[in-house]
């Protein structure tokens, strides 16, 4: 007599746009074939009364949702919650986000991992002067301090001179722009599963070219300029097929160290390689629960991650989010 395999219920609480991009039919089908059922959670209803769940994944914010998770975790201590809201909130500020990188414990090797030099501007009046950027030099990249996934948090600029600074509103982060061959490496992490992909990025800027650039350009404007250059036969356009990937061992070591430092399981980080030093890499962004559907073979990788979760529910590493939630029961509220 054949024994029926136990099915596992993964509850997901996501914003509607995230549901549309992540919970695709191909993922539902692949997970179903591996005895995983993806169950939508209604955040407006009591989480404790929904389920049962073998695991919960989420990307919702706010004190009410945090309280829901807290109560659920207290009543269901063996159900992993991926991930802890307090850990996720560290990625909502671009200062605390990149501070993570400076604390990573990575084995010594020929590759070097850094973050760009940067300053924080809290007052828009400071953007009107000339002494603001300290030892930073043009060109600069300007990013909002808040990185919460909102449209405003993605409003970024490349700044070429002091006049360009006047276009900005504080609070904002100014970073040195590092020439990186027009390529960015996006590293997707789902627990122990790591995949690195390469994407086109902002083009390099020579000192001669910088002398001809004025003011500021939004990233979307730069992308349009790059596209026009490609159509006009610009030889500077990058051929991604020719670009060498970072050493996979190095990437996996970063991912592992970042998981340990942040306590997170679902994130990606963006890395660039210094065009002047092929062994120098810089992390420029870390995102919680990114667009996994853009990753090749995402259905298989995420399903394997789900299977890891339900197969290791007593693992201290997997339960890190739940443990932190329980320990911080008295600190519920907006951080």
DSSP secondary structure letters along 6-46: PPEEEEEE--HHHHHHHS-HHHHHHHHHTTEEEEE--TTS-
Long-range pairs of 165-169 with CB within 8 A, sequence gap ≥ 24: 165/127, 165/128, 165/132, 165/133, 165/216, 166/127, 166/128, 167/215, 167/216, 168/121, 168/124, 168/127, 168/142, 168/216, 169/124
Which of 269, 268, 267, 256 minimizes the C-alpha distance to 317?
Answer: 256
Q: Quote the CA–CA distance of 193 and 200 in Å, as a whole number.
A: 23
Q: Quote the CA–CA distance of 324 and 4 in Å, as a whole number.
A: 35
How many CA atoms, within 13 angstroms, populate the side-chain half-sphere of residue 261? Answer: 21
Known binding residues for 1D-myo-inositol 1,3,4-trisphosphate = 18, 59, 154, 186, 287, 291
- pTM for this prediction: 0.87
pLDDT digits (tens, 9 = 90+) for 236-261: 578 888 999 999 999 999 999 999 99
Topology of 8-83 in CATH? Rossmann fold (3.40.50)
pLDDT digits (tens, 9 = 90+) for 196-225: 999 999 999 999 999 999 999 988 655 444
Tokens of 314: 């007593």
Q: For 90-230+240-288, which CATH superfamily applies?
A: ATP-grasp fold, B domain (3.30.470.20)
Q: Is 195 helix (H, G, I), strand (E, B) or coil?
A: strand
Q: Where are the domains of the chain?
A: 8-83, 90-230+240-288
Matching residue, tokens 């591996």: 34
With vertex at residue 186, the alpha carbon angle to CA 287 and CA 91, rounded to the nearest 5 degrees, is 15
Known binding residues for Mg(2+) = 270, 285, 287
pLDDT digits (tens, 9 = 90+) for 265-280: 999 999 999 999 999 9
Known binding residues = 18, 59, 94, 143, 154, 175-186, 201, 270, 285, 287, 291
Residue 76 in contact with residue 321, Cβ under 8 Å? no
pLDDT digits (tens, 9 = 90+) for 75-118: 999 999 999 999 999 999 998 899 999 999 888 889 999 999 99
Tokens of 218: 């939004």
Within 8 A by CB and 6+ apart from 149, the residues are 287
Q: CA Rg, the chain, in Å?
A: 22
Helix and strand numbers (H, E) in the chain are 11, 14
What pLDDT is stored for residue 40 in this prediction?
A: 98
Q: Is the pLDDT of residue 131 over 70?
A: no
Which of 45, 48, 43 minimizes the C-alpha distance to 71?
Answer: 48
């Amino acid at each position: 007599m054949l024994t029926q395999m136990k099915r596992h219920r993964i509850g997901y609480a996501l914003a509607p746009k995230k549901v549309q991009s992540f919970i695709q039919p191909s993922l539902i089908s692949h997970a179903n074939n591996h005895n995983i059922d993806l169950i939508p959670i209604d955040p407006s209803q009591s989480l404790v009364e929904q389920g049962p769940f073998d695991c919960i994944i989420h990307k919702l914010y706010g004190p009410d949702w945090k309280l829901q998770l807290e109560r659920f975790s207290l009543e269901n201590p063996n159900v992993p919650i991926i991930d802890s809201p307090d850990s996720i909130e560290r990625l909502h500020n671009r200062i605390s986000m990149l501070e993570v990188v400076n604390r990573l414990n990575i084995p010594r090797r020929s590759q070097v991992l850094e973050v760009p030099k940067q300053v924080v501007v809290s007052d828009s009046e400071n953007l009107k002067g000339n002494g603001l950027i300290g030892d930073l030099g043009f060109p600069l990249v300007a990013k909002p301090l808040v990185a919460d996934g909102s449209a405003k948090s993605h409003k970024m600029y490349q700044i070429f001179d002091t006049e360009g600074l006047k276009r900005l509103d504080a609070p904002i982060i100014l970073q040195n722009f590092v020439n990186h061959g027009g390529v960015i490496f996006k590293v997707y992490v789902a627990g122990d599963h790591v995949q690195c992909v390469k994407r086109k990025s902002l083009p390099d800027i020579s000192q001669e070219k910088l002398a001809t650039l004025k003011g500021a350009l939004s990233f979307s404007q730069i992308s349009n300029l790059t596209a026009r250059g490609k159509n006009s036969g610009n030889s500077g356009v990058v051929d991604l097929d020719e670009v060498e990937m970072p050493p996979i061992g190095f990437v996996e070591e970063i991912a592992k160290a970042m998981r340990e430092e942040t306590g997170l399981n679902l994130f990606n980080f963006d890395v660039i390689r210094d065009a002047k030093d092929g062994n120098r890499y810089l992390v420029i962004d870390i995102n919680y629960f990114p667009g996994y559907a853009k990753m090749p073979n995402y259905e298989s990788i995420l399903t394997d991650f789900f299977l890891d979760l339900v197969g290791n529910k007593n693992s201290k590493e997997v339960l890190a989010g739940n443990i932190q939630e329980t320990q911080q029961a008295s600190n519920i509220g907006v951080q």
